[in-house]
Chains A and B, each alone.
Chain A
Amino acid sequence: QQQVKQSPQSLIVQKGGISIINCAYENTAFDYFPWYQQFPGKGPALLIAIRPDVSEKKEGRFTISFNKSAKQFSLHIMDSQPGDSATYFCAASMLSGGGNKLTFGTGTQLKVEL
């Protein structure tokens, strides 16, 4: 009930291409969906987050698409750059009464090649 499933496990994209990472959740009580970026040896850093009352949110080259009925959300990285090479985690939490503890996906290792 608390799982967040993430795919793919790894992804190789050419510079300038679009990187797409998908996540699916089971618990319909989740109401906050952030994406985190993590570089080796560092802590996760928030990239972008969405609430279920909107279907899409864009910040720069990063876009979250959210499908409430399918219980799925995805991260799109436009014009991918080598500096985007990192591990990306989707997460979900319950802000309303859930204390906002994050349930993370298993991560996607993105490599952007020249």
Chain B
Amino acid sequence: NAGVMQNPRHLVRRRGQEARLRCSPMKGHSHVYWYRQLPEEGLKFMVYLQKENIIDESGMPKERFSAEFPKEGPSILRIQQVVRGDSAAYFCASSPGTVGQETQYFGPGTRLLVL
């Protein structure tokens, strides 16, 4: 059973470009969470999605950031018109979403560098 997969692992963008981060949850997991980790800091919640639905986006900036988890395919975190402050590690986590199965399994992260 493969773990949570994220790609790309490293992404370099120039200011103003778009960044698209992908997350494939573990098999059988229907819940996906995105977190951002700035250097030397803890992880901050961004958004929580279930298949085709955004459940909680309270941690995601209102502008330039969007997320989706389509019926087929990976979850996508999209950052438009990136700025230097977007440089961070972005982690996704997945869970089965069933009672008693609350563990979130994290992927290896995508490290975004904005030049």
A joins B in a complex: yes
Interface size on B, residues (CB 8 A): 25
Number of contacts between A and B (CB, 8 Å)? Answer: 59
Do A44 and B103 have beta carbons less than 8 Å apart?
Answer: no
Do B102 and A100 have beta carbons less than 8 Å apart?
Answer: yes
- Stretch of B12-20, B40-48, B64-72, B75-83 with 4 or more beta carbons under 8 angstroms from chain A: B40-48
In the complex, the chain A residue whose C-beta lies closest to that of B4 is A43
Do B43 and A44 have beta carbons less than 8 Å apart?
Answer: yes
Say yes or no: A43-B91 contact (C-beta < 8 A), given A89-B42, A99-B55, A101-B59: yes
A43 to B45, CA, bound (A): 14
Does A95 touch B at the CB level, under 8 Å? yes
Do A43 and B95 have beta carbons less than 8 Å apart?
Answer: no
Question: Which positions in A face B, CB cutoff 8 Å?
Answer: 6, 32, 34, 36, 41-46, 49, 89, 93, 95, 99-107
